[in-house]
Structure formats: structure tokens, C-alpha cells
Amino acid sequence: MIVVKTVQELKDNIWAYKQGNQTIGFVPTMGYLHEGHRRLLEEARKENDIVVLSVFVNPLQFGVGEDYESYPRDEERDEEVAKKAGVDVLFLPPVQEMYPTNPSYSVSVKSRVNVLCGKTRAGHFDGVATVLTKLFNLILPDRAYFGMKDAQQVAVVEGLVKEFNFPLVVIPVETMREEDGLAKSSRNVYLTSHERHEAPTIYRSLLQAKRAILEGCHNQEEIKSVIKAEIQSKTSGQIDYIEILSYPELSELMKLKGRIIIAVAVKFSKARLIDNITFQL
């Protein structure tokens, strides 16, 4: 595995792979790698000649008062995980390498962002789209892999790739979960032991809502009430949102049909957890 920390080193290696007509699978992350990231890397390894992993905590996607400074980081551990997963190139740039000057340009995302996490995190997806535009242009991947735990991000990235005609395919990968159903996340380390015991309720509430829909309940307020009651009665978390939308358009539904997403965000004392399920009606 090659570890590179500069844009020029990265470009030199990518150029060599492209000269050899090798396909590139790319997994962009903010590090503190867990089994969900390993699943993305496994999928990339199966389908490509070369696997490139980036670890970069992108300041542009953090708002005022969010956890940029305290976001968990462990480069040494990330390198070990990357080696075991068969990564060929690990890109570990410092902030000044990705943004050597105050950015003069950025990508502004206008659709799929005024709901779910985007509603309360103004500019977040602009930051995501900006850094991915830079990374896609540097790495020139054939395929890029994203976890469906952040389904809104997947929808935004699919829109970005389509809008700007990036010659790559976005590969969504199913959410990895703990044995009790909690979605794997770098932010799970912020949960207290009591909160960690409560947190799987989020996924169970989504499954209850899905079952209600499949059994014929299509009243969206009733479905949301099922989720709300479960979370409020069995956790100390505060519900940020409960949404039922079309997917990947993330539009309101007058009638439940087609592919839908049920998504939830819950705030605990030091962690805000998101989860979702998508399915076809």
C-alpha cells in the first residue's frame, strides 16, 4: 500500500494506473474507520483493479458549533485497517494540501438538501460536493462507493455526478449494523453506556414503521407517530426529525408509492445519530 499526503504524489500514481488501463475504485471517508468502511473497501476490491481510499476530515462540511475539532481521528489505526482491506493507495492530505488558499470557488447544491440533515445544516452538502468534486478530479475513479447510512449524501452525490457528467458510477452499499441493529458510525463512540443500550431503538422503530406500511397503513402522520412513540418511550434522545420521502429525489409524497425512504435523526448528550431504510412500494 502506498500512503500519499500531497496532491502531486496522488496525481503521479493515478496517472500511472490510468496509463496501464487499470480500473479505479474510490472510497472517500473522514477516517476513524469502522466495519461499515471496511464493507465499502471490500466492494471496491471485488470490482476494481486499484482501490484508492481517502481519509480527510473536511472542514467545509462542518458548520459553526459542530464537531470539527473533536471529530474522532486515528491515522495510525486507519492505515492498519486500509492495509488489511487491500487498499492500494491511501490519500491522507492535510487541510492545507486540499485548500492551500481560502477557496475562491465552491459547489452549491440546490436540490435534495432542504430536508433531513440538510434542513438544519446549511452549507453542509455544499462542502461535501466541493471536496468530492476535487477528489473525483484528482482520482478519476471508475466507481465511487458510499454507505447508505447517510442516504441523503448518496442522493446528493448521485445528483452531483449526473449534473457535472463525471465519468464514474456511484455504488451505494447497504448500511452495516451492530448485532443489535445500531448503524455503525464513527460518532457512536460519543454515546454513554446507557445511550449505547438505548440507541438500537432507532432502527427498531424504522422496522416497525416499514411493517405498518406493508400491512396497509399509508397515513404518514400515523406512521411517524409509531416511530416517535417508540423512540420517546425507550430512549433519552431528542428527536431531530422523522421524514418519509421519495428516494432519491427526497421530495414530499402525496401518496406512498415507488421507492421511499423513512429517515430519523436523534440527538443524545454528545452524539447525533441518523438512520434510515429505503424500500419499494
Could you check whether the bond before residue 167 is cis, i.e. omega within 30 degrees of 0?
A: no
Does 184 show up as a binding residue in the annotation? yes
CA distance 205 to 53: 33
Question: Binding residue per annotation — 148?
Answer: yes
86 is in an annotated binding site: no
Is 1 assigned to a binding site? no
Annotated binding residue 257: no
The answer to the question of whether 147 is labelled as a binding residue is yes
Instruction: Answer whether 262's CB lies under 8 Å from 151's CB.
Output: no
149 is in an annotated binding site: yes
Amino acid at 259: R
Complete DSSP assignment for 158-211:
HHHHHHTT-S-EEEEEPPPB-TTSPBP-GGGGGS-HHHHHHTTHHHHHHHHHHH
Residues with catalytic function: 37
The verdict on whether residue 280 carries a ligand-binding annotation is no
* Residue 34 annotated as part of some ligand binding site: yes
The cell numbers describing 191, all together, are 454515546
Per the CB < 8 A criterion, the answer to whether 55 and 83 are in contact is no
What residues form the annotated binding site?
Answer: 30-37, 61, 147-150, 153, 184-187
Which residues carry a binding-site annotation for ATP? 30-37, 147-150, 184-187
